[in-house]
Amino acid sequence: MYSNGDPDISWEDKSKFVTGVDQFLELYNGQRLLTHRICFCLGNEYGGYVDRWIRFAIIMKAEKLDLDFSARPESQSNNLYDFPAAFFLKGNHPDDGQPVVLKLEKFGFSIRHRHTIAPVPEPNDITFEKALELLLGKDVKRCGRAKSKLKLEGVVEEI
């Protein structure tokens, strides 16, 4: 979706654009998305919408994500969109070397390590160190199949 490059776009036009993108993504029923391109003069005040569009591209396994929120370099202000580094969080746990990954779940972001899942309350402020702390927190859930103990009670060998 594109704008005409005018840096003086009204709030009403920006709101219409944002609503249009949201409606399009809501109605999109394809299995994949090859390219997700948005070109419009938007600032950080629309960050929540942009984050949602990026999550959509990740869920749809987009091969290319192209975001251009500035109409012209001279029109840039201090209110540009802050791309969240959390989208790139990934590393290995220091205790066992297994991956620690930030995942987009149905109801928001979570940190996963082996069979442990921790919700991420503030995805824009997440660092690898904070992710490790969340994995030790009180809101942690375990997933996967529980290991069953083999009971050998009453086993009798007959000769």
Q: What is the 3-state secondary structure (H, E, C) of 23-74?
A: HHHHHCCCCCCCEEEEECCCCHHHHHHHHHHHHHHHHCCCCEEEEECCCCHH
Return the structure tokens found at 56. 């959509």
Beta bridge partner(s), residue 105: 108
What is the pLDDT tens value at each position of the chain, 159 positions in all?
544 445 567 889 889 999 999 999 999 988 888 888 888 888 778 888 988 898 888 888 888 888 887 655 444 444 666 666 556 677 889 999 988 888 767 677 788 899 999 998 887 778 888 999 999 999 999 987 766 554 444 444 554
pTM: 0.49
Contact 112, 105 (CB under 8 A): no
